[in-house]
Structure 1
Amino acid sequence: MEDMVETTHPWGRVTEKGTVEVRIGDDWHAVGSYPDGTPEEAMAIFERKFADLESQVKLAEDRHKAGAPAKDIQKSVTALRKSLETPGAVGDLESLKSRVETLAEALGELAAQQNKEREKAVAVAVEEREKIVSEIEKLADGDLSQVRWKETTAAVDALFESWKTQQQEGPKLPKATADALWKRFRNARHTLDRARRAHFQARDKVVKEAKGAKRELIERAQALAEKGAAGIPAYRDLLEAWKKAPRANRAVEDQLWSQFKAAGDVLYQAKTAEAAAEDEANKENGEQKAALIEEFSDILTLTDHRQALERIRLFHERSRKIGPVPRAQVKVLDGKVAAFDKHVKKLEADHWDKSNPEKQARSESFLSQIDQDIERLQEKKSAADAAGNTQEAERIQAELDTKLAWRNVLTDA
């Protein structure tokens, strides 16, 4: 047996040949050698190896306390067990092995707890993915002809981002479940993509047709420029055709409308110029018409319908000879003429009411009836007076006064 070197280390010793041994229970086991160094140096090497093993065990224990994934800690425990199978360090290896085994036993409970938590997290994640899928399927199952694609596209993009976030940050789902949910999501998104492409293709077609139709209307409107104001009726027909033509998008529609309106403005500007020229030419007519109205203003003071009729006839005869007046004067002058006509018509109506034979016959018949009533009441009053019946005489007198008043009205009329 090799001679031993004295040492105060409780777990290790070094032989004279430099062999380092560790005590496990009552037995000593060689762990290595360092013949070229001192016993202290040799011992220090294997103490450091023990310290490294111990720190690995401590790290695994700390990870267990922190709730790290049990399967990851298990890998460390398996490696430590293998390292501790054959002594290779100096220290309390039995205590270290005991800690590793205690940790291995505790890992079963941690794994079970983590499995429960994982199952719960997976269930929540499946529910979240199902919610995302249901929302996009709801969009895909709607009336795709009525979709507002700007908002819907933004909603689909947001749902896809939520899906990626769940996939990256959430727990891993069972492959069959994940594949089934993704297939539903992908199919719904493809349905929306196809509908969106079809929508914009159809819209592009409409825009193309609208541009073609409206450019033709613009060309026809521009061709009316040489007609001046006379082209306005034709332009109005083109405007009706414009309203019935398909619409392009907002920017294109505004640009086309600007060109069409500019063509119409040319015509209306020509009309305005013609009207201004006409008004200037009719300026003297306006002055003559105003003077004529002033000359015949006495019509409003006449009370004899025959005189008024003759006067208004003469006015209109002279007025017709004057001709058109400037547009700015039409409303004012026509208003004054209307006042003349209204006054004369009223005089005629009043005269007719007074001379209407049918009305006169009714009045005469009524007057005759009243005269008979007055005669009858006078006789009754005389009888009441003769009988001394004062109360009856007063009642009859009141009725008689009413009849006399009616007679006065009829005779005055």
Structure 2
Amino acid sequence: MTQSQQSDETPRTDETSGDEETTTGHEQAGEPEQAESAAPEAEAPEAEPAVAEAVRPTPSPGTAPSPAAMAPRPGAKPGGKPGAKPGAAVAAPPAHNTPLSEAAKFARVEDDGHVFLIVNGEEHAVGQYPDASKEEALAYFVRKYDDVASQIALLEQRVHAKAPSADMQKTAGHLREQVAEKKIVGDVLALEARLDALNTQIAELVAAEKAEQDALKSADLAAREAIVAEAEEIAGRDPSTVQWKASSTRMNELFETWKAAQKNGIRLGRGTEDGLWKRFRAARTIFDRHRRAYFSQLDTDNASAKQAKESLIQQAEALSTSTDWGHTAGEYRRLMDEWKASKRASRKDDDALWARFRAAQDKFFTARKATNEAIDEEYGANLVVKEALLVEARQLLPIKNLAAAKKSLQSIRDRWEEAGKVPRADMGRIEAGIREVEDAVKAADDAHWERTNPETQARTNSALSQLEATIAALQEDLNAAEKAGDAKRIAAAKEALSARQQWMDMLQKSARDFS
């Protein structure tokens, strides 16, 4: 409790004005003349200059101060500066009320109102409460002790509730100063012990808060660094592979997350926050530059692709009225290959361009289809004739008389040519059917030629003669080996003789086929 608070709590008499207050004991001890002049001369009681910290109330003659006057002022808060906010919302502890009989063990009161505090057998002047009984003088300074004890109890309760420790050390120091002044009456040593314990507990609470704050700071730093790292990773991607819509959305989300962390998170220190922000801002700048460059190039590519496809469309539209069906169809295939090889324009432009290109194609192929349908209707009768000729041709199979088959096939082919064209849808089937018969007749003719070829017959006869001579020689070797009883020569001769005999059988069969 400060000296100003002590003087504020000094009781006033009914005859003094509301603005007049008694001076502190310190002022009376150091400057007795000023202290005595602080009250009207007619009402100032005699004071002993030697008494330290005398309290100078100005009661009416023969009147003791009322209990209400000695009670703490409304709004005065225990500990700290008046009006200071407590660190946490804690319930006020029960008011400390030391019995006078208990307090008397720690004090001595003189008849003139001087009060002395006894600590370890040593007396300390507390102050003077004149014109009052010894009990009233003692009670006044006991109430000051109770006020300090209540403030210590409140601080203990705040520490136990683990309230924020922002002002706890300051409050504890202020209370220790009040106890050390020894201007109160009570068990001062007990208060000092409680304050010692509080200092230890407050230090532990401060350390715990710091550890918690450091953990939160580390977590917030890790979160900020994760934001920056992801932004740098996005900015470092190859622009040609970036999904710009998704990446732009994510970059905006990271920016909003950064702002929320900066607003609601733990302060990391100006240097750290500035460094992270510079990295994050640089990543966003690089990403934005790449995005603008990409879309600028995309616009250029779209314009070039659009121009190239416009040229293809013009060619397709010029061909759309052509009646040179075969050549024009080939040109459209060429244009389609060029269209597929060209770059895409924007989706909107590309869809519109394709619709125009396809419309030109459809116009040509629709006209060709109509013409072909008319032709097919005209060629329907020819199809009937060729179907009958195809049945007649298939009756030649299998070929038994090659000469007769060749003659009949020639007749069928002459009538086939005279029949004319058939509808396009049936052309492949009809042509494949007649070609099947032609291939069978040709194969039979080739086989007959191989059998009757004089050169082939001569080669076969010569081979037979040579083989017969070889077989005769081998037979003689076999006979000689058998007479000699040479098993090895016998086995070799039999093996060679068997192989030549197989060749002989094959050549003889071939000769029979030629005849």
TM-score (norm 1): 0.71
What is the match of residue 371 of structure 2? 274
CA contact (8 A) 1:374 1:403 kept: no
Matched, 1:143 2:243: no
1:261-410 equivalences in 2 (<5 Å): 261-369=358-466, 409=509
Q: Post-superposition shift, 1:179?
A: 0.9
Q: Specify the SS of the correspondent of 2:400.
A: coil
In structure 1, C-alpha distance between the alignment counterparts of 2:475 and 2:12, rounded to whole Å:
174
Q: Deviations over 1:35-89 (max 9, x none)?
A: xxxx879359747556x5384946655443344443354677789999999xxxx
Higher helix proportion:
1
CA contact (8 A) 1:132 1:163 kept: yes
What is the match of residue 17 of structure 1? 14
In structure 1, C-alpha distance between the alignment counterparts of 2:214 and 2:473, rounded to whole Å:
120
In structure 1, C-alpha distance between the alignment counterparts of 2:66 and 2:324, rounded to whole Å:
120
Structure 2: stretches of 5+ with no match in the other structure: 1-8, 26-51, 60-64, 80-91, 93-149, 484-489
What is the match of residue 258 of structure 2? 163
User: Which of 208, 211, 214 is the aligned partner of 2:303?
Assistant: 208
Q: Specify the SS of the correspondent of 1:227.
A: coil
CA contact (8 A) 1:373 1:403 kept: no
Deviates more, 1:243-252 or 1:344-353: 243-252
Q: Post-superposition shift, 1:364?
A: 2.0
Q: Specify the SS of the correspondent of 2:14.
A: coil
Q: Post-superposition shift, 1:100?
A: 8.1
CA contact (8 A) 1:289 1:322 kept: yes
CA contact (8 A) 1:296 1:315 kept: yes
Q: Give the direction of change, closer, same or farther, for the CA distance of 1:370–1:122 in structure 2 (3 Å limit).
A: closer
Q: CA RMSD in A?
A: 4.9
Matched, 1:227 2:322: yes
What is the match of residue 129 of structure 2? none
User: Which of 249, 268, 271 is the aligned partner of 2:346?
Assistant: 249
In structure 1, C-alpha distance between the alignment counterparts of 2:332 and 2:420, rounded to whole Å:
30
User: Which of 230, 238, 250 is the aligned partner of 2:335?
Assistant: 238
In structure 1, C-alpha distance between the alignment counterparts of 2:278 and 2:241, rounded to whole Å:
25
Q: Give the direction of change, closer, same or farther, for the CA distance of 1:13–1:139 in structure 2 (3 Å limit).
A: closer
In structure 2, C-alpha distance between the alignment counterparts of 1:248 and 1:304, rounded to whole Å:
69
What is the match of residue 53 of structure 1? 78
Q: Post-superposition shift, 1:358?
A: 1.9
1:86-105 equivalences in 2 (<5 Å): none
In structure 1, C-alpha distance between the alignment counterparts of 2:177 and 2:502, rounded to whole Å:
141
Q: Give the direction of change, closer, same or farther, for the CA distance of 1:377–1:232 in structure 2 (3 Å limit).
A: closer
Q: Give the direction of change, closer, same or farther, for the CA distance of 1:108–1:411 in structure 2 (3 Å limit).
A: closer
CA contact (8 A) 2:460 2:511 kept: no
Q: Deviations over 1:150-207 (max 9, x none)?
A: 3332342343344334323332112112111211111111111111111112212222
In structure 2, C-alpha distance between the alignment counterparts of 1:239 and 1:403, rounded to whole Å:
62
In structure 2, C-alpha distance between the alignment counterparts of 1:72 and 1:406, rounded to whole Å:
122
In structure 2, C-alpha distance between the alignment counterparts of 1:109 and 1:324, rounded to whole Å:
109
In structure 2, C-alpha distance between the alignment counterparts of 1:377 and 1:176, rounded to whole Å:
110
Q: Post-superposition shift, 1:211?
A: 3.0
Q: Give the direction of change, closer, same or farther, for the CA distance of 1:13–1:246 in structure 2 (3 Å limit).
A: closer
User: Which of 59, 68, 82 is the aligned partner of 1:42?
Assistant: 68
Q: Post-superposition shift, 1:286?
A: 0.9
In structure 2, C-alpha distance between the alignment counterparts of 1:408 and 1:349, rounded to whole Å:
21
Q: Post-superposition shift, 1:223?
A: 3.9
Q: Give the direction of change, closer, same or farther, for the CA distance of 1:223–1:68 in structure 2 (3 Å limit).
A: farther
User: Which of 281, 285, 295 is the aligned partner of 1:186?
Assistant: 281
Q: Give the direction of change, closer, same or farther, for the CA distance of 1:166–1:313 in structure 2 (3 Å limit).
A: same
In structure 1, C-alpha distance between the alignment counterparts of 2:74 and 2:13, rounded to whole Å:
21
Q: Post-superposition shift, 1:404?
A: 9.2
Matched, 1:134 2:229: yes
TM-score (norm 2): 0.59
Q: Deviations over 1:114-167 (max 9, x none)?
A: 344434543443344334323322333343343232333234234334433432
Q: Deviations over 1:345-366 (max 9, x none)?
A: 1221121121111220122224
Q: Give the direction of change, closer, same or farther, for the CA distance of 1:410–1:374 in structure 2 (3 Å limit).
A: farther
Q: Give the direction of change, closer, same or farther, for the CA distance of 1:378–1:205 in structure 2 (3 Å limit).
A: closer
Matched, 1:177 2:269: no
In structure 1, C-alpha distance between the alignment counterparts of 2:200 and 2:15, rounded to whole Å:
38
Name the aligned partner's letter for residue 347 of structure 1: A
Structure 1: stretches of 5+ with no match in the other structure: 1-11, 34-38, 86-90, 382-386
In structure 2, C-alpha distance between the alignment counterparts of 1:407 and 1:177, rounded to whole Å:
102
Name the aligned partner's letter for residue 361 of structure 2: G
